[in-house]
Structure formats: structure tokens, C-alpha cells
Amino acid sequence: MSDQPRPTGHPDIRHGKVGVLLVNLGTPDGCDTASVRRYLREFLSDPRVVERPRWLWYPVLYGIILTFRPKRSAEAYAKVWDRERDESPLRTYSRDQAARLGERLAGLDEVEVDWAMRYGNPAIEARLLVLREKGCDRVVVVPLYPQYSATTTASVCDEVFRVLSAMRWMPAVRVAPPWHDAPVYIDALARSLEAGLAALDFEPQKVVASYHGIPKRYFDAGDPYYCHCMKTSRLLEARLGWPGGRLVTAFQSTFGPEEWLTPATDETVKGWAANGTDRVAIFNPGFVADCIETLEEIDIALREDFFAAGGRAFAHVPCLNASDEGMDVIETIVRRELCGWTHTDASHTLSS
């Protein structure tokens, strides 16, 4: 390496750091209608989320959906909003996950851990720029979706590379692949579920693994999401040693008139209640952190519908969040991706 001095006026450029950016879906900045409308506009304008021609979709989005849906969604957010912090649970858990990961990677001095949201704030663009300013010339992007879908993981990649395309000196980037079948993830789900069920004062007749749905048309076009979900459930059932039929896979959060993946969580659970299966527990293995879809849609709205249909006992087991089990998964994924870029201990990486 040359020991010649830098040219006069050469800027002092930071380099040599490795960034880790955890990315979750997103959240509005407030639970008021205006904030939710801004969030929904960004989310539902993503062509990865709604695969319709813009000329056909935008009149529906701007004419109907953004007129009426924000108020209803704001009311749902208000039910789970943290008034003291003035933020959604997803923002809280995402921040906690990044903080705990930073603690776990504290021995890697060259690593900077940050977090972002695909939609809303903190934005991917803002946090990538911060990492670059800190001297991160290599970045590991971790889309926090255990099961891959073009609607989620691919959308994160779209935004990351859009931001990088405007950089003069862009960092090298790795994107963590999905971990739907990773032993550390299956084990974490099993331990969390076992602990959650053991704490109940009733024995569920059925336990539902409820994943976020996607239109069936996306699966037919080649999206592997459904297969990833089913494999997660199959491996988890084997890990738990449960008899076939106790763990049921279903899909929630449908939107619009077209056909989505089935069975639907809400219809399935309400149907059980009306036919004698009146003690159920639900957990959400596809969500790394509790959010409006788990806390309001499942633990509040579906709970009410289940009891109204004749149910007697209902439980929602929390997501992994920033628990020890959840952080074991994230740390293992990140350490694997850091191999070759840092001196991280390879023994923390995923087994094949």
C-alpha cells in the first residue's frame, strides 16, 4: 500500500465498517386518519403488493380505498397504539430487536446495526445513507420475513437497490435469504409455543399457525410463499411431536374481492366455534414481531368473533419479538451473512 499523502483537499472518507440493516414492513407515524392514509398510499402503491396495471388500480386506490379505509384502519391502530411512546408496537419491537442485536454483536467492533421500515419511517433510504456516512462500505440487509414472497422480501430489495442506484460510492450488499426451514427458527417457534401454551388455564383443541395471506394468483405465478409456510408448519409439527391435525395452517389479512390463499383464519376459527371446537390458540409464525395484524386482527377482532360464534376459550401466543428465542434466530441469520466480512464465529451460523 502506498504511503504517499493524499492530494490536497481530499475529503476524509470513512470506510471499513460493515452495516447490518434489519427491515420490517412498516407502520404509520400516528394512529390518526391522515397518518394512516399516508402510510396506506405508500404501501398500496407498491406494484409488488398490488400486481395490477396502474391505470386500473390507481382510480380504485385514490377514489375508494384512500377515501374510506384510512379511518377504519386508524381505529384499528388506535386499539393497539402505545400512547406513552406514541408509536405502534411494531416500531417498538423493531427498535428493540436492533438494540439487542447490537448488544449481541458488540464484540464485532466493525459492525454497525440499524433498522428500517419498507413503508413509513425510519425509511430504508435514510438509514442506508446513515450507514454509509458511518463508513459502512459493506451492508447486510435482513428483510424480516421468514417466508419469502415477492410482496415482502422482493419489495425490500427493490427499495434497497433503488437507493443504491443514486449513490456515487455504493456499498457492497448482501441480502439475507428466507429462513422458513432453518433449525434455529423452528426450534425458537417450538419453545415459544410450548411456553405460551403451558401458561394457559385451558387445553386448546386446535392450534392455528396463522400466516399473512397473498392472492392465490401470485402463488400460481410462481411465488414460493405458500410452500414456505407449509414447510414451516410441517417442520414445527414434527419438532413438537404433535399428532396430525392438532396444528392447523391458515391465512389471514385478505384484501379485495379476488381469491386468496386458503383456508382463511377467521372463517376457519369461527366455523369451529359454531361446531363444537370451542377452545383454540393462535400464533403467527410468519411475523417476527407483533403488529396490528396479530394484536388487533387476531387477538382483538377474531377473539370477539370467536366468542360471538360460540367459542369458550381463546388464546393468542405472542410473536418471537425481541425475546431470547427471537434474537437467537436473528443473530444466527446475521452472523451467517457476516462470514467473510468480519471475524464472526462461524459456530453461530445456521446448520444445513
Give the count of beta carbons closer than 10 Å to the beta carbon of residue 277.
17
Q: Do 150 and 25 fall into the same domain?
A: yes
Enclosing domain of residue 335: 17-30+81-178+325-348
> Do residues 339 and 295 both lie within one domain?
no
Q: Is residue 3 part of a domain?
A: no
Q: Report the C-alpha gap between 258 and 94 in whole angstroms.
A: 32
For residue 9, give the DSSP letter.
Answer: T
Mean pLDDT, rounded, for 260-289: 97
Judgement on whether residues 189 and 131 belong to the same structural domain of the protein: no
Bin 73: left if φ > 0, else alpha if -120 < ψ < 50, else beta: alpha
> Could you tell me the CA-to-CA distances from 213 to 171, 172, 224, 226 in Å, in that order?
34, 33, 12, 9
Percent of the chain's residues with pLDDT above 70: 94
Residues 137 and 252 in one domain: no
Minimum mean pLDDT range among 166-170, 195-199, 330-334, 340-344: 340-344
Rounded average pLDDT over 95-116: 97
Same domain, 130 and 191: no
Q: What would the grid cell of residue 300 be?
A: 382483538
Residues 262, 298 within the same domain: yes
- Nearest residue to 213 via CA among 249, 177, 159: 249
Q: Looking at the structure, tell me whether residues 131 and 24 fall in a common domain.
A: yes
1-15, 110-124, 186-200: the lowest-pLDDT one: 1-15
CB atoms within 10 A of CB 114: 21
Instruction: Kindly indicate the confidence band of residue 345, based on its pLDDT and cuts at 50, 70 and 90.
Output: low
Cβ pair 113, 140 in contact under 8 A = no
Residue 258 lies in a domain: yes
Mean pLDDT value across residues 320-348: 89
Annotated binding-site members: 212, 293
Convert the pLDDT of each residue in 187-246 to its tens digit. 999 999 999 999 999 999 999 999 999 999 999 999 999 999 999 999 999 999 999 899
Question: For residue 236, which of 205, 194, 196, 268 has the smallest C-alpha distance?
Answer: 194
User: Is residue 8 in some structural domain?
Assistant: no
Domain total in the chain = 2
Calculate the average pLDDT of the chain: 95
Confidence of residue 348 (pLDDT cuts 50, 70, 90): low
Q: Do 248 and 208 form a contact (C-beta atoms < 8 A)?
A: yes
Identify the CATH number of the domain in which residue 286 sits.
Answer: 3.40.50.1400
Please tell me the pTM assigned to this model. Answer: 0.94
Is the predicted pLDDT of residue 303 greater than 50, yes or no?
yes
- For residue 6, what pLDDT is reported? 67
Annotated binding site for Fe(2+): 212, 293
Q: Is residue 71 situated within a structural domain?
A: no
Q: Average pLDDT of 95-120?
A: 97
Instruction: Measure Cα distances from 252 to 42, 72, 93, 260, 262 in Å.
Output: 21, 17, 21, 9, 9
